[in-house]
Structure 1
Amino acid sequence: MIAPVATRGLAVGSLEGGYGSSPVLHGVTLQIGPGEIFGVLGKNGMGKTTLLKTIMGLLPPRRGQVELLGENVTGWPAYQITRLGVSYIPQEKSIFQDLSVEENLRLALREPSRFDERLIAVAAWFPFLTARRQQRAGTLSGGEQKMLLMARALLTRPRLVLIDEITEGLQPAVATRLQEILVEERRTYGTTIVLVEQNVGFALALADRYAVLKVGTIVETGNSSDPGARKTIERHLAI
């Protein structure tokens, strides 16, 4: 059963999905409160990205229900889900390589008149992006492109952010900066954040609670502050 609207930012109930005739998710159920940071951990190939894409409307669910911010969005297309105030940062670098940094950022906003106001926040998060506004995005380093993805997602001041493996390939100092930015976004705007990660340290440093996904099934949940949380998660990742 899905919890009352007032107690959730995101809820999935008995969710099943996959690609074509290949099932990946097997009855996934999660409830995430508004303003909560929640980590979904697991090895490669366990269904983490499939879960986010199904929640985001990029893959159709076969069974089950998805509710975001109090709305039953099961089967909605991604553009409608975005309009609820949901941002998605995919694992792949989905920037427009041939456009400038500024053009990539402008594409995030449906209200162009608010761009200059929101750019102030980008300057505070990532000063180098505003200094390189006219640089072609494809010439940024891999880590810088990920920061551009983060800036583009947060520029809209989303109510819910879905983040897929943002720390993959990042230097520790950059990962720490992203952690600080996400904590500040939650503190300032009450943003609900769902992190898909293999970086256990990053996820536990940010998340209030976590779930471990294994072969498309939730096999463990807990509080990140629990003394044995890291050991429990790493045991699942090692098997």
Structure 2
Amino acid sequence: MLKLTNVNSFYGRSHALQDVSLAVPRGEVTAILGRNGMGKTTLLRTLMGSMVRSTGAIELAGQRIDGQPTHRRARGGIAYVPQGREIIADFSVRQNILMGCFAGRGPVAIPPLALELFPYLAANLDRPGGVLSGGQQQQLALARALAAHPQLMLLDEPNEGIQPSVVEEIEAAILRLNREFGMTMVLVEQNIDFARRVASRFAMFEKGAIVQSGPIAALTDELIDRHMAF
């Protein structure tokens, strides 16, 4: 589904991603792990084309996309759920979801699946997005991404700052999207238990480079202690 070859990204003179090569299989969840500041969010921004300077090859479903602007990548099938959610506070739940339609490649309509996965949103379509709790806004961000009808979803720490009960709902939604509907996902996550439950593969980042990758069964406690312990 997704292949990166010798990808580098820069913030000014800072070399944020260093020769990253990674293959993301179709229909699987790949967890991107590592301490804060190690390049995980930069990887997602690079995939979306929002970095000012990057080099290397990025292929989506066999097609090179590294030279394409962000809107072309979105219409090609990539949806991004950013850290912080970036909900438009004055827009209603309905309007926020429909924003995903204009970024993506499907009809301008709320996907029934989004409302099925998140009943709270279905019951509160006319509420302003800004009055929702953090967990409800995260559900809204996921629903907005689904409205783009993506073939690849990028998730940047979807559980950050969210109450445990909503984390369970988000986990259930991610699992269902992947297991039942075959959605390919790249998941940046600090919660190791969560990553082990939902992901089939992982890549460990340190100082902008992948230091270990493989099936999730190879994500040992020793590896976590070495690269994620503070």
Which category of TM-score, normalised to the shorter sequence, fits these structures?
over 0.9
Shift, 1:60, TM fit: 4.2
Instruction: Quote the Cα distance in structure 2 between the aligned partners of 1:115 and 1:234.
Output: 45
Confirm or deny that 1:36 pairs with 2:44. Answer: no
Question: 27-36 vs 57-66, which deviates more?
Answer: 57-66
Q: State the secondary structure of the residue aligned to 2:202.
A: strand
Match of residue 221 from structure 1: 213
Within the candidate set 209, 216, 227, 1:236 is matched to 227
1:116-155 aligned at under 5 Å gives the runs 118=111, 120-155=112-147
Count of equivalent residues: 228
Confirm or deny that 1:88 pairs with 2:80. Answer: yes
Question: TM (normalized to structure 2)?
Answer: 0.93
Instruction: Quote the Cα distance in structure 2 between the aligned partners of 1:67 and 1:109.
Output: 23
Shift, 1:113, TM fit: 5.6
Deviation digits for residues 58-81 of structure 1, max 9, x if unmatched? 114532111112211112111000
Instruction: Quote the Cα distance in structure 2 between the aligned partners of 1:103 and 1:10.
Output: 30
Shift, 1:91, TM fit: 0.4
Instruction: Quote the Cα distance in structure 2 between the aligned partners of 1:63 and 1:157.
Output: 28
Match of residue 167 from structure 2: 175
Structure 1 outlier segments of 4+, above 6 Å: none
Which consecutive residues of structure 1, in runs of 5 or more, have no partner in the other structure? 1-8
Confirm or deny that 1:11 pairs with 2:11. Answer: no
Deviation digits for residues 29-51 of structure 1, max 9, x if unmatched? 10111111100001111111111
Which consecutive residues of structure 2, in runs of 5 or more, have no partner in the other structure? none
Identity among equivalent pairs (%): 38
Q: State the secondary structure of the residue aligned to 1:219.
A: strand
When the two chains are superposed, the root-mean-square deviation of aligned CA atoms in Å is 1.8
Within the candidate set 101, 112, 122, 1:109 is matched to 101
Instruction: Quote the Cα distance in structure 2 between the aligned partners of 1:191 and 1:113.
Output: 19
Instruction: Quote the Cα distance in structure 2 between the aligned partners of 1:231 and 1:222.
Output: 15
Instruction: Quote the Cα distance in structure 2 between the aligned partners of 1:58 and 1:197.
Output: 20
1:35-74 aligned at under 5 Å gives the runs 35-74=27-66
Confirm or deny that 1:23 pairs with 2:9. Answer: no
Instruction: Quote the Cα distance in structure 2 between the aligned partners of 1:49 and 1:113.
Output: 29
Q: 2:178 touches 2:184 (CA, 8 Å); kept in 1?
A: yes
Shift, 1:191, TM fit: 1.2
Instruction: Quote the Cα distance in structure 2 between the aligned partners of 1:84 and 1:113.
Output: 14
Question: TM (normalized to structure 1)?
Answer: 0.89
Shift, 1:124, TM fit: 1.3
Q: 2:100 touches 2:146 (CA, 8 Å); kept in 1?
A: no
Instruction: Quote the Cα distance in structure 2 between the aligned partners of 1:140 and 1:96.
Output: 11
Deviation digits for residues 137-172 of structure 1, max 9, x if unmatched? 011111111111011112333110010011111122
Within the candidate set 176, 182, 199, 2:191 is matched to 199
Instruction: Quote the Cα distance in structure 2 between the aligned partners of 1:113 and 1:214.
Output: 40
Q: 1:61 touches 1:75 (CA, 8 Å); kept in 2?
A: no
Deviation digits for residues 177-206 of structure 1, max 9, x if unmatched? 212111211233321100011111111111
Match of residue 201 from structure 2: 209
